[in-house]
Amino acid sequence: MQVAVIGGGAAGFFAALSVKEHRPDATVTIYEKSDKLLSKVRISGGGRCNVTHNEPVLSRLIKHYPRGATFLRKAFTAFAVPDTIAWFQKHHVALKTEVDGRMFPVTDDSGTIVNALMEAAADRGVRIKLRSAVAHIDTVDRAFRLSINGQWIEADKVIVTTGGHPKPEGYGWLADLGHRVVPPVPSLFTFNIPDDPIHGLMGVALPARVRIVGTSMESTGPVLITHWGLSGPAVLRLSAWGARDLNERAYRFTVQVNWVGGRSEDGLRSILQTEAMAMERKAARNADPLHLPSRFWEYQIIRAGIDPAQPWGTVPRKSKNRLLDLLTNDRYEVRGKTTFKEEFVTAGGVDLAEVDPMRMESRLHKGLHFAGEVLDIDGITGGFNFQAAWTTGFIAGRAASG
């Protein structure tokens, strides 16, 4: 039996290995259009590879997928986080869990993951063809013909693992097979705030709550101030959940930021009043009872009209109220986004209504399977997209082996 896997990324390798695990005599070939394999695995997590997220409870795990949660609920019953951990342990890769739940190889080197996948593929006889771009697929007598670099290649089963595409044209040959493709839009991006003094705080990070004004969308967690705007886990999560809405707004919107992790203005006022006696003789720049980063505190008191050298006890109530408002209800105008190669994820892809979640098989063409980001599935940052790749790849390969 000939199985063609289109795409040499995480999902493609896992699908190919799954076919060989369940049917060792199958001939499995990975066709990769570029000259590099496992590109995203190599660069993800700053070169460490965020393999998965340590969340064994399925009901909690699926809450990290803005699109595809219901579909994955079924899929995760077949292969989930504990299975991923066990697979890598079996292949001599120990994983560690960081405080936020993200899991990495103990080596802190994505090469460890790449080598494990490459060695497993070599051991099981998976064939690999680089610079092999698929231009078209035909269905012929319960089999398939693939147009690759001007030549036609036959396969009994096909597993499509081409990843997400930034433009709809990237899914053209799937549309030719009759599959509906949900138009792709970027997910996981940072917010650009041009020409704003906040850029002077580049590198400052603090827990905050970020909300898109005029919507119910908000996210709480670390926010990183950059030389172009706002980044960090809270912003990336918000960009994922709001991917389509923010695209429709052409990435022009207002964000409200609570820089004290969501605490209320009244709560902060109480803290300031409690600490007033101890702080009244201190210069305003040194009178921070909230223990915020010093650069950030000084930036905000200046915006509130307070002289950093002024004794805190002489600061007018009006200025303190303005400061409280800036800390709990700060607003910025977003005008654009920035995506990063290592975190690039698309919302969109093959319509899940046309795919069997327990086989990752097309409901239109028997023997045609999908895995990874080519499906209309995407997770927030933290290892969730790789987990979806391992899961869908395993299931697609198992089904294609039959």
Question: What was the pLDDT predicted at 271?
Answer: 86
Q: Tell me the pLDDT tens digit for each residue of 228-267.
A: 999 999 999 999 999 999 999 999 999 999 999 989 999 8
Question: What was the pLDDT predicted at 364?
Answer: 97
Q: Is the pLDDT of residue 37 over 90?
A: yes
Q: Tell me the pLDDT tens digit for each residue of 9-23.
A: 999 999 999 999 999
Domains and CATH numbers, the chain: 2-186+342-400 (3.50.50.60), 189-338 (no CATH)
Distance CA 360, CA 368 (A): 8
Q: Is the pLDDT of residue 342 over 80?
A: no
User: What is the pTM (predicted TM-score) of this model?
Assistant: 0.92
| Cα separations in angstroms, 280 against 235, 285, 289, 291, 311 | 36, 12, 11, 16, 6
Q: Is the pLDDT of residue 277 over 80?
A: no
Strands 157-160 and 368-370, sheet pairing:
parallel
Sign of torsion over alpha carbons 237, 241, 247, 248 = negative
Mean pLDDT of 314-338: 96
DSSP state of 364: S
Going edge to edge, which strands form the sheet with 252-258? 330-335, 252-258, 205-212, 218-225, 229-231, 190-192, 337-338
The answer to whether the beta carbons of residues 370 and 348 sit under 8 Å apart is no
Q: Tell me the pLDDT tens digit for each residue of 73-106.
A: 999 999 999 999 999 999 999 999 999 999 999 9
